[in-house]
Amino acid sequence: MPVSIDQLGYKKLTQIIFEWQAADRASLFALFIVIEVALHWLWCLFVWFKRDTYGLYVNMDLLYPVWIWTTVIGLFSYWIVGHVARIKTSDQRLHLWQIILVTIYTVYIAIAIVIMGYSSLLAGVSLVGGAMLGMMLIEQRYIWRAFLAQTFLILFAVSLPYFGIALPNLSQLVVTSLPPEVYHQLTYNEVMTIENAIAASNFKNNDLRWDSVREIQRSSAFFWRSTHMYLALPKAIFIVAVFRVLLLVLYASKDESLKQANQDDLTHLKSRRHGLEMMQQALSKMSRGQSFSIILLDLDNFKDINDEQGHDAGDRVLQKVSAILSKPKLDVAGKDAIVSRHGGEEFLVVLPNTAHNKAMSIAEQLRQDIAQHPIALSDNLEAVESVDTVECLNVTASFGVYSVDYEELTAYKITSVAHTDAVSLPNDICQYFISIADKALYKAKHLGRNQVVSANELLVQGAITKKRYCK
């Protein structure tokens, strides 16, 4: 089905560019050509209606064949709109018609630029704007070759007058003044002869004054500059509007991609990678006198939940526990807290500028919240007789907590090779600290689960040891 103008809204244009088939996009490109050619056709119609006024500036003998030629190109492009839209199964035919369409458009624009009186504004918009639009809708290799061909044709046509070859031009030149040094060397009769020649060619009443000639000059310049703006600006505005839509789509796609990359799909917490990135950034901002705490927690007997209740129940447990961890509570997680899903049923809570005692208190409160919060296996409470009959799971979690102060952190800082004065943390420092918290978590599991264990206390007691860290 061929496209139509009413389909060129924001949402439809986005769908066209990213979802439509190649035949539909080629049909849209042909429709854009029809619109551009229609602007040229309307200009010819306007000049014809005002031929008594603008006949001084426009070569009317050339206007009529140009008008016919423009009509033929417009009708052909309009036919192409419907024809290529129906080519759904033959890639070879579609490519052939794309080549034909692009070739005709390339030649048409090159001739239009030259015959309208070469204008840098018109040439620039036609070359760049047409190529950018075509890149979105047509095979890019065809558009690139067409762009090079169009550039060559325009340069070739513009250079021909320097070799004494005059090309047809709608702009009708009018002699408006004589150079002063020439004027003073002419006799009175010679000047009158020139004036009479100008009057005979441009004025029906043969009444010519130099003020009139200067007025013609101003009017002619204004007419052709207005013509070039009329032919170029609508296309330029449309191209900018299209690319504005593309940028909006690109930014929205970028935000969505970042969201998917940085967020765990199931729990809507931060992903493991993003959580570690934010932890690294928070560590690098740590200043003297501050402490940095890590809480690593793992749900107890989670494998049994999956095996006995099914993976849907396991997913529901993960979602409910994630909701508990992400709730904004006064003393549970400050605004700088970083909560991420670190593994299957393992979560990481990073607490910048948090002392060890407070981190232990937060971990204990989280442990109680999880243990005292039975998780319903169904959200459809209206389908049961009472809340008491809803099947629930009692879930617990084991916690390992580790805190590091600024002085200890500086021992791990390294000097950048590229900038000798720059000091930074190793890329794997986060995993190193998490591994220490993991030893406390393992101890909590060994002690019977549903407990909070301090890695700092275990280190003091000698119950665990740090593995040697190599920079």
Each residue's pLDDT tens digit, 15-38:
555 667 788 888 888 988 999 999
Residue 386: per-residue pLDDT: 44
Helix pair angle (272-284, 210-262), 10° resolution: 100
Which residues fall within 8 angstroms of residue 187, CB to CB, at 6 or more apart? none
Element (H, E) at 3: none
Residue 192: per-residue pLDDT: 47
Q: Which domains does the chain have, with CATH numbers?
A: 5-172+209-259 (no CATH), 272-461 (3.30.70.270)
Q: What does the alpha-carbon distance between residue 47 and residue 446 come to, in Å, rounded to a whole number?
A: 93
* pLDDT class of 361 with cuts at 50, 70, 90: very high
Q: Degrees (nearest 5) of the Cα angle 318, 323, 325? A: 95
Residue 420: per-residue pLDDT: 44
CB atoms near residue 148 (< 10 Å): 12
pLDDT digits (tens, 9 = 90+) for 47-79: 999 988 888 788 888 999 999 999 999 999 999
277 contacts 426 by C-beta, under 8 angstroms: no
| Mean pLDDT value of segment 34-45 | 93
